[in-house]
Amino acid sequence: MKKLLNQVDDFVRESLEGMSRAHPDLIGVNFEPNVVYRVDAPRQGKVGVISGGGSGHEPMHGGFVGRGMLDAACPGEVFTSPTPDQMEWATTKVDGGAGVLHIVKNYSGDVMNFEMASELAEGVQVESVVVNDDVAVEDSLYTQGRRGVGGTVLLEKIVGAKAEEGANLGSVADVARDVNANVRSMGLALTSCTVPAAGEPTFQLGGDEVEIGIGIHGEPGRERIKLEGADQLTDRLARPVIEDLGLGQGEEVLAFVNSMGGTPVAELYVVFRRLAQLLDEGGVRITRNLVGPFITSLEMQGCSITLLRLDAEKTRLWDAPVHTAGLRWGA
């Protein structure tokens, strides 16, 4: 295993230190507990939006802290849920009197610890939305029900825009639930990944094998197959997503093709090409897209496909200005 780190135990802290030095105009970083927060937080009268999860998925979540997206993010150790005290600190930090929305990926540790944090944050009105967009498996090593994966990125952007324009907590939470109800994802791995503290791959995958339906923590998926061409692999991801969403002719979608960390953007465009062909065949229009490494699994080679059914409101909020380390337009 070769990684650019010093001591394993210092990896997350040193990464956060580097991030704070790279983007001092956007974020501040608190240590003990570790929280990345928007430099102008709290914003009086604005709903605070926070999320969090294990490190190793960068730029999610810390890279999405800033104008038009998150007000704070709680990074745990690699592939490990953040602790309740992190989430409590973040909740209190960003509360500007209008309440705070917790965006929680459906992993058992995240759900439990965010629930505890909402109880600990006395005097703060908190709403929580659990993201469960993965169509690959109903239950996994880390969840009861579907996992929260690529849809989290799209939800954080759209919800962040709603909060930025001054909507109340109930309205912001409603938009989050609407996005979650209309987004689905599925991913694959060409290789496994290595957690620094473990020093070995999270699972073994042969040189001619592909794992279909993986999560973002290096956990195995629904089936292991022999390597196929990019079009065939894209079909294996896209068709279940399209079917689960029930997309029909004349509908519009945001298509998100994501690198799991080690897949070049050129290969992602090969996948996007085939995805666009499939949607064209069904009369579904891609009116917005996102291509690149936005929710990763360390150095894993592979990709995920996420489709979000769009309407005028979600399209408007997606287009709204955003300025974060990991996503920026219109600002």
Residue-wise pLDDT for 238-262, tens only, equals: 999 999 999 999 999 999 999 999 9
Residue 43 structure tokens: 């914003």
Judge whether residue 137 has pLDDT over 90. no
* Segment 251-297, tens digit of pLDDT: 999 999 999 999 999 999 999 999 999 999 999 999 999 999 999 99
Strand partners for 191: none
Q: What letter does residue 165 receive in the DSSP assignment?
A: T
Burial bucket for residue 124 (CB in 10 Å: 0-12, 13-18, 19+): middle
This prediction has a pTM of 0.96
Task: Specify the number of domains making up the chain.
Answer: 2
DSSP structure string for 167-180: --HHHHHHHHHHHH
Domain that residue 233 falls in: 183-319
The pLDDT assigned to 87 comes to: 97
Residue 152 structure tokens: 């989290």
Instruction: Provide the mean pLDDT of the chain.
Output: 95
Q: Does residue 197 share a domain with residue 267? A: yes
The pLDDT assigned to 105 comes to: 95
Final residue in a domain of this structure, among 165, 181, 197: 181
Look at residue 4 and tell me if it is in a domain.
no
Judge whether residue 141 has pLDDT over 70. no
- Neighbouring residues of 112: CB distance < 8 A, sequence distance ≥ 6: 81
The pLDDT assigned to 131 comes to: 97
Q: Does residue 299 share a domain with residue 156? A: no
* Segment 147-166, tens digit of pLDDT: 999 999 999 999 999 999 99
Look at residue 295 and tell me if it is in a domain.
yes
Cα separations in angstroms, 98 against 21, 127, 269: 30, 11, 41
Residue 99 structure tokens: 């309440």
Residue 214 — very low, low, confident or very high, per pLDDT cuts 50/70/90?
A: very high
Q: Does residue 134 share a domain with residue 224? A: no
Final residue in a domain of this structure, among 181, 208, 232: 181
Q: Does residue 307 share a domain with residue 265? A: yes
Q: Does residue 139 share a domain with residue 265? A: no
Summarize the confidence of residues 42-59 as an average pLDDT. 97
Q: What is the percentage of the chain residues whose pLDDT exceeds 70?
A: 98
Q: Does residue 215 share a domain with residue 96? A: no
Summarize the confidence of residues 42-47 as an average pLDDT. 97
Active site residues: 57, 217
Q: What is the percentage of the chain residues whose pLDDT exceeds 90?
A: 89
Q: Does residue 156 share a domain with residue 115? A: yes
